[in-house]
Amino acid sequence: MSDELVYIGSIPDAVSVTDVGLEFRKDIEYDQWLTLMATLQQLSTAFQFAIGDALNYGQKRYGEKYAQAMDATGCAYQSLANWSWVASNVPIDNRVAGLSWTHHRLVAHIGTAEQKAILESAKSRGVPVTEFEKELKGEQEEEKKPLKQINIPDGWTVDDINKALEIISSTPLPLADVYEAGLTKLSEEDTKVQRYCSECPYNN
C-alpha cells in the first residue's frame, strides 16, 4: 500500500465533516487550509474506491451487492457497478495517491503487473486524464489531411457515377476498370474479381 495515502485525520481538528458539508468551528492557518484542500481532493477518489471495495467485500462475505447498496447509499446501479469493477481490477497496492479515480479506471483492463508503473509514470509527469487516455489508446494528434479528390471521367452522367459507386462499393474493381468496362457491360463474374498484392494470403 502506498505510503502517500492521506487519511481523514489530516483534516484539522477545527473542521468537522458532516453529511452535508464542512463546519469550521474556528479559523485555521493557511497551510492547514492547503492541507485540507488536498485531503478533500483525495477523499473524492478514496470515496469511489471505498464504495467499490465495500461492495466487493459484501458480495464475497454476504452475497449481497447492488440492490442493498442502492438502498443504503442512494447511488445509481451503474455508478455502483463502475466503482465495484474498478476496485476489483485495480488492487489497492496498485493505486497511486494523487491521481484521480478516472486515471485508475483507464488502467483497469490492463494486467495488474503493469498498472502501478503506468500510473506512477502518469503522476510524475502530471498527465491529465484526457492526455492519459490518449496515451493508453496510442493516439497521437495528427495534422488534418486534405481531402482526396476523385477525377470524374468526361462524359459521365450522375446516373453513371452512382452506378459506378454502387459497383465499387461491393467489389475491389478499380474505378478505371469500371469505366473501361462500360458500366452496363460489367457481368456478375467481373464484380467477383479479387485484386490483391502478390504476397497477400487471399490472392487466388
Report which of residues 143 and 162 the model is more confident about: 162
Report which of residues 165 and 182 the model is more confident about: 165
> What is the predicted pLDDT for the residue at 170?
60
pLDDT in tens, 73-104: 888 888 889 999 999 999 999 999 889 999 99
At residue 107 the predicted structure's pLDDT band, cuts being 50, 70 and 90, is very high
> What is the predicted pLDDT for the residue at 14?
87
User: Which cell goes with 7?
Assistant: 487519511
Residue 29 in 3-state DSSP?
coil
Instruction: Return all residues near 107 (Cβ < 8 A) that are at least 6 apart.
Output: 90, 114, 115, 118, 119, 136
pLDDT in tens, 1-14: 444 444 544 678 88
Q: Taken in order 120, 122, 124, 128, is the CA torsion positive or negative?
A: negative
pLDDT in tens, 126-152: 999 999 999 998 854 444 455 555 666
> What is the predicted pLDDT for the residue at 115?
95
**Angle (CA) 34 73 69, round 5°:** 130
The answer to whether the predicted template modeling score (pTM) of the entire model surpasses 0.75 is no
E runs forming strands in the chain = 15-18, 21-24
Count other C-beta atoms under 10 Å from residue 46's C-beta.
Answer: 19
CA 147 to chain centre: 29
* DSSP type of residue 63: S
